[in-house]
Amino acid sequence: MTDPAPNAAAVPEHPGHPRPVRLYGPTIADDPAELYRSLREHYGPVVPILLDGDVPAWFVLGYREVHHVTANPQLFARDCRRWNAWDLIPDDWPLMPYVGWTPSIMFAEGAEHQRRAGAIGDALDAFDRTELGMMVGQVADRLVDTFAGHGHADLVEQYSHQIPLHVVARLFGLPEADIPVLVKDVADSLDVDSDPVAAHQRIHARMVRLVADKHREPGSDVPSRLLAHPAALTDDEVVIDLLVVLAAAQQPTGNWIGNALRLMLVDDKFSNTMQGGRGSASHALNQVLWEDTPTQNFIGRWAVHDCVLGDQRVRRGDLLVLGLAAANRDPGVKPREFGGPVANRAHMSFGHGEHGCPFPAPELAEVIAKTAVEVLLDRLPDMELSVPPDALEWRPSVWMRGLYTLPVKFTPTTDLPYLSS
């Protein structure tokens, strides 16, 4: 049995935080499944942890406990200003983007959250699913056209992470000419080797201009519908919530596509599922959410009162990290197999409760992922990995599960309908 905290003697303790485990470091995400299994075996469903800089928090990894926390916002709330550890947090804390308060839907609660989430849900729900699938198909075909003649590609950089941004840009009503710049800025905002702050500022400025444009010329797009919604959102609210939608769509959906393609390329049984051997692409993509969900862990909730959770005494204002992937792997609830006519969709990959991914966003994300996978399989049916499976590298993040690259090779094709049109 592996000790989840081999350096426990060197790990500082905090009041009410016995034997904490560091949930950060260069190797913490090497084998998430084994990490979650070991933590569950040592501590149970709620684990005392230390985040970057040895900041104390609780890691909720039991399925029932995650469900309880997310289903009871009156006990575990989203407004980070409740945190009792702000005195330990420097301005440059690496996780500040997750906890720094902004007047966005992310930290809104109660009636205010319902007002904002309802407007976003209505704006997204107005899109016809069939038309969305056709739009995604066009985007996917155009991306495949850029590398189909080469006989090789990186399906992460050139495909899976490109598709959500191109689609969301169209749902936002951005001019076609602006989309490549937005795609690059979003990539730079997530890349520590570039200037992420400057890139984020450019994205924010672009959303400000977009809202101003939609005031002058409204259309059938998300910002126009938000501006016209009975919730009477201000321009600042629309801008910041567009940024939330953009961020929520890009990495999770891109990694969902990439993780599904990886599994298809390394697992023959899964590949048969993806290609119709014993199920649909939707069925197979659902399996990825159980096995390799893109959003592994999420910050978080803050305890409204002192309470007991999973036999741990949680204090008012304590931070709880939601272990979505760990909950999906809870042996008490994880489905033993994925066959049969109806897939089990009770995973926690989209969260749960008031602050779960709002309807219809999960449905739209599935349309995007399913269409992206189907187009690629149709266009490049003989693609295979161009490196050994164990050479694929996961990004060293405890928060998101995704590959650096997914290099493939295939028979080059000159059938490039969009480039030749």
Model confidence band, residue 273 (pLDDT cutoffs 50, 70, 90): low
Report the C-alpha gap between 188 and 183 in whole angstroms.
9
Mean pLDDT, range 137-141, rounded to an integer: 97
Query: Is the pLDDT assigned to residue 338 strictly greater than 70?
Result: no
Look up residue 361 and give its two tokens. Answer: 């966003």
pLDDT score for 418: 62
> Residue 342: is its pLDDT beyond 50?
no
Q: What value does the mean pLDDT take over residues 277-299? A: 84
- Is residue 209 a contact partner of residue 168, using CB atoms and an 8 Å limit? no
Residue 188 pLDDT class (50, 70, 90 cuts): confident
pTM of structure: 0.91
* Rounded average pLDDT over 205-226: 97
Phi-psi region of 276 (alpha: psi -120 to 50; beta: other; left: phi over 0): left
Which amino acid is residue 265, in one-letter code? L
Out of 21-30, 128-137, 199-208, 271-280, the most confident range is 128-137
| 41 neighbors 409 (Cβ within 8 angstroms) | no
Q: Give the residue extent of every domain in the chain.
A: 8-420
Q: Left, alpha or beta for 46 (phi > 0: left; psi -120 to 50: alpha)?
A: beta
Peptide bond into 15 cis (omega under 30): no
Q: How many CB atoms lie within 10 A of CB 414?
A: 7
Kindly state the average pLDDT of the residues 109-128.
96
With a cut of 60, say whether residue 35 has pLDDT above it: yes
Closest CA relative to residue 38, chosen from 4, 66, 9: 4
Alpha-carbon span 237 to 123, nearest angstrom: 14
Asked whether the predicted pLDDT for residue 5 surpasses 60, the reply is no
pLDDT at 9: 47
Q: Say how many C-beta atoms besides its own lie within 10 A of residue 236's C-beta.
A: 12
Neighbours of 175 (CB within 10 A): 9
Mean pLDDT over residues 138-146, rounded? 96
Lowest mean pLDDT among 156-160, 244-248, 364-368: 244-248
310: left (phi over 0), alpha (psi -120 to 50) or beta: left
What pLDDT is attached to residue 1?
39
8-420 falls under which CATH superfamily? Cytochrome P450 (1.10.630.10)
Query: Omega before 151 cis (within 30°)?
Result: no
